[in-house]
Amino acid sequence: MTHRVRPAYACMATTDVVKAFVKNLTHNECRIEADYEIGTVQVFDGDAIVYRALQKGEGQPWIVSCFNSQRIQWDNTGDVFEQ
């Protein structure tokens, strides 16, 4: 049985918003795995995923999920803060 973690925050976003989130998380010393051409972004705090964005097609909005880690926490507006 796979343990699934419910996102702390989920939304639809434009490419510019996704890139802004990623830039903020880069400043928080997170590891980024991004391929904007195929439409996938994953951000890790250590081994824990804290941000995932998927784009179904070019020019389409991104489906974004934000997850809490021990250090990175999201509030219900999508803003991130460190513990």
DSSP state letter for 14: -
How does the average pLDDT of the chain come out, rounded? 85
The pLDDT assigned to 76 comes to 61
CB count in 10 Å sphere of residue 67: 20
pLDDT band at 10 (very low <50, low <70, confident <90, very high): confident
The pLDDT assigned to 73 comes to 82
| Burial zone of 41 (CB within 10 Å; 0-12 exposed, 13-18 middle, 19+ buried) | buried
Nearest to 68 by CA among 3, 7, 27: 7
DSSP state letter for 57: S
First to last CA, the chain: 30
